[in-house]
């Protein structure tokens, strides 16, 4: 999500330095603890009682979608990842006040969390809505959807599970479509028109009202994919000299 707490230039610079050292935090029903107190990779089954399926949202922003889903489907367990401390705490407090004890919020950088903390193949759905497109070439390594990083996102999915994605940055959306279309083991479809339940984020509600084009898609895991995206192997694997 591109929702961010307003901050000045000095705060942004300080935030970038602090992001490298601040601990990952996990909150369940308002009970917060640093990740160092938990096992890694995370034993997600120990975080929330029950045997319900798991759904993950990466970059939940203000948490509109996650909180609504957690309340509407108490039999499902939800895990949200957000780097911005302000929004992480905002949703954590709201979840605690409203008794959404099937919702886990996690503060941390999504790429780090995906590569080091979350187990593979545990989610029945992964949601990514209106991520920062990082349009400048020098920033593209920060994207969730590049050939070198997309496997981290998709590795969360069980066989038959789906990634749900939306963006108003249509050029980026078409790029994401091409990356997913060239990754063996996934079936793609575009979602024409709005989601059946209406806008899923505050950004989406605003953009729909403004009449902006929005690209929505589903990528369903149909079979076991290769461990790395074919176009990303050369950027990840380095042969010894």
Active site members: 132
Helix, coil or strand: residue 119 = coil
d(CA 166, CA 59): 12
Return the bridge partners of 6, or none.
none
Count of alpha carbons within 13 Å of 212, Cβ hemisphere only? 18
**How far is it, in rounded angstroms, from Cα 63 to Cα 121?**
23
Q: Count Cβ atoms within 10 A of the Cβ of residue 118 and give its class: 0-12 exposed, 13-18 middle, 19 or more buried.
A: buried
State residue 203 phi and psi, 5-degree precision.
-60, -45
Q: State the maximum Cα–Cα separation within the chain, in Å, rounded to a whole number.
A: 57
Q: What are phi and psi of 63, to 5 degrees?
A: 80, 20
DSSP secondary structure letter of residue 139: G
DSSP secondary structure code for residue 200 in this structure:
S
Cβ density class 211-221: b for 16+ within 10 Å, e for less: eeebbbbbbbb
157 close to 88: Cβ distance less than 8 angstroms: no
């Amino acid at each position: 999500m591109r929702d961010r707490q307003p901050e000045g230039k000095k705060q942004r610079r300080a935030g970038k330095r602090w992001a490298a050292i601040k601990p990952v935090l996990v909150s369940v029903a308002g009970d917060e603890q640093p990740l160092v107190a938990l096992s890694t990779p995370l034993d997600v089954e120990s975080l929330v009682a029950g045997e319900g399926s798991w759904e993950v949202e990466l970059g939940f922003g203000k948490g509109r979608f996650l909180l609504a889903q957690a309340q509407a489907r108490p039999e499902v367990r939800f895990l949200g990842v957000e780097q911005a401390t302000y929004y992480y705490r905002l949703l954590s407090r709201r979840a605690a006040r409203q008794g959404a004890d099937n919702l886990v919020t996690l503060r941390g950088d999504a790429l780090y969390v995906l590569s080091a903390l979350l187990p593979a193949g545990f989610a029945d759905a992964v949601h990514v809505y209106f991520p920062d497109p990082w349009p400048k070439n020098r920033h593209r390594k920060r994207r969730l959807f590049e050939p070198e990083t997309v496997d981290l996102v998709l590795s969360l999915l069980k066989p038959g599970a789906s990634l749900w994605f939306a963006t108003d940055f249509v050029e980026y959306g078409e790029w994401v479509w091409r990356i997913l279309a060239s990754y063996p083991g996934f079936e793609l479809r575009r979602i024409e028109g709005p989601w059946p339940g209406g806008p899923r984020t505050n950004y989406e509600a605003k953009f729909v009202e403004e009449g902006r084009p929005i690209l929505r898609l589903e990528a369903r895991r149909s079979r076991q994919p290769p461990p790395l995206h074919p176009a990303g192997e050369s950027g990840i694997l380095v042969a010894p000299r």
